Amino acid sequence: MPVSLVNCRDYQAVPDAMTRLMAGLGGMQRFVKPGQSVLIKPNLLSDHTPDEAVTTHPEVVRALIRLVREQGASPWVADSPAIIADLKRVWERTGMEALCREENVPLVNLEKAGSRQFEEGGIHFTIALPVLEADAIITVPKVKTHVLTGLTGAVKNLYGTVPGLQKTRFHKMYPYPQDFARLLVAIYRRVKPVLAVADGVVGMEGNGPSAGAPVKLGFLGASADALALDVVLCRTLGLDPRNVAHLDAARRAGLGGTDWPDIAVEGDAIGALSARDYKLPNTVPIQYVPRWLIGLVQPLIWHRPAFSDACVFCGKCAKACPADALRMEPGKRPVLDPDKCIACCCCQEICPEHAIEMRPSPFFRFARNFTKGRRS
Ligand code: SF4
Ligand code: SF4
């Protein structure tokens, strides 16, 4: 299970680093054939600019577009973000619209292109038709921590192949990491990428995927096995992959790529594996609670949004809340109904002003301190 990791000090250095990265895996010709339609799938979570480190940087996508083209294949770019009502703004702010115009490649709207329904182990979901019609998929995540799943990497990035508001509803249906993990694995089975390439030049630590802090990681990573790449990304951030529920669920399902001894890491950025102590999300300890116990201790282990002075009363969080737990009043911060809140973090993910902090309950804080020493 080879994973290639190369140094990349900034986004100007991406073209050279990408060439070295792919050379470590035998070149792009191993993954893409002439005449193929190739979906390059970045993480376009919401309307943030590249320097905020929430979304995949356009220069990483540009380098991949060019390498795919060199193989005589046809690249195109798409993602279904969290904010689908303002897709144009997401494309503009993330730099993806300008990039696709400059490179003359299609930027496809997955919300209006039809979809097909699937069922896996009792989980029903749909995938956008253009994704299913692609000959090859390259998943291109940003390396970030994630308040719900621990890590948002190559596998979690495929959540954006699910079009529309289903994504928000799923947070209500599967509020616990272990249940949400089953959904992510089900999607991964249906949308298996031929290649995973991670933007770790500048990543995010703390309360990712959008409310954390940008952090210089200085590498690009790639593998034919998205799970193996995610395990390596965990190691670079100081997360234990066994505590990332969807990686654990994939390992249990025998999908491979999640056992550390089986992964061969190559390239000049292996030093990234002995990462400094990055800040992890303040919600991670729930991963240590067995699923069967969660219902019993739920009254003790909640975390809920708190709103700071940075709030501009835009109401986006209330619109995004799948549990209808937020109410807006003119000129005031959102009002939370704690009984309705399912702690999905969607409000925090969507807030453009970083005005929401997920605050843990006193018991949660105790659990976090107790488990601190166990993370590696
Ligand atoms: S918390 Fe954020 S998303 Fe919600 S109203 Fe305030 S600024 Fe808007
Ligand atoms: S208030 Fe925030 S954390 Fe609670 S259910 Fe709504 S979106 Fe999720």
Q: Which residue among 170, 311, 339, 345 has the greatest number of ligand 2 atoms within 8 angstroms of its CB, and so is best to mutate?
A: 345
Q: Which residue among 210, 304, 314, 319 has the greatest number of ligand 1 atoms within 8 angstroms of its CB, and so is best to mutate?
A: 314
Q: Where in the chain is the domain with CATH 3.40.50.11440?
A: 2-273
Q: From CA 259, how far away is CA 243, in angstroms rounded?
A: 13
Task: Give the atom of ligand 2 at the shortest distance from the alpha carbon of 317.
Answer: 7
Q: Per the structure block, which two tokens stand in for 349?
A: 């993910």
User: If you measure from the C-alpha of residue 304 to the centroid of ligand 1, how many angstroms do you get, rounded to a whole number?
Assistant: 14
Q: What is the DSSP letter of 201?
A: E
Task: Give the atom of ligand 1 at the shortest distance from the alpha carbon of 310.
Answer: 7
pLDDT tens digits in sequence order for the chain, 376 residues long: 899 999 999 999 999 999 999 999 999 999 999 999 999 999 999 889 999 999 999 999 999 999 999 999 999 999 999 877 789 999 999 999 999 999 999 999 999 899 999 999 899 999 999 999 999 999 999 999 988 888 999 999 999 999 988 888 898 888 778 889 999 999 999 999 999 999 999 999 988 888 889 999 999 999 999 999 999 999 999 888 888 989 988 988 888 767 778 899 999 998 888 767 888 887 655 656 666 776 666 677 778 899 999 999 999 999 989 889 999 999 999 999 998 998 888 898 889 888 998 888 887 777 666 655 444 3
Determine the distance from the C-alpha atom of residue 205 to the mean position of all C-alpha atoms in its chain, rounded to a whole number: 13
8 A C-beta contact, residue 198 and residue 221: yes
Q: From CA 350, how far away is CA 48, in angstroms rounded?
A: 10
Q: Per the structure block, which two tokens stand in for 299?
A: 């009254």
Strand partners, 214: 204
Handedness of CA 346, 347, 352, 357 (dihedral sign): negative
Q: Which ligand is nearest to the CA of 311?
A: 1
User: If you measure from the C-alpha of residue 342 to the centroid of ligand 2, how many angstroms do you get, rounded to a whole number?
Assistant: 6
- CATH 3.30.365.10, applies to 2-273: no
pTM (predicted TM-score):
0.89
Residue among 93, 56, 96, 49 at smallest CA distance from 76 = 96
Q: Where in the chain is the domain with CATH 3.30.70.20?
A: 284-374
CB of 346 closer than 6 angstroms to any ligand 1 atom? no
CATH classification (class only), 284-374: alpha beta
8 A C-beta contact, residue 141 and residue 236: no
CB neighbour burial string for 19-52, b if at least 16 within 10 angstroms, e if fewer: bbbbebbeebeebbeeebebbbbbbbbbbbebeb
Q: From CA 2, how far away is CA 222, in angstroms rounded?
A: 9
8 A C-beta contact, residue 178 and residue 249: yes
Q: Per the structure block, which two tokens stand in for 161?
A: 């192949």
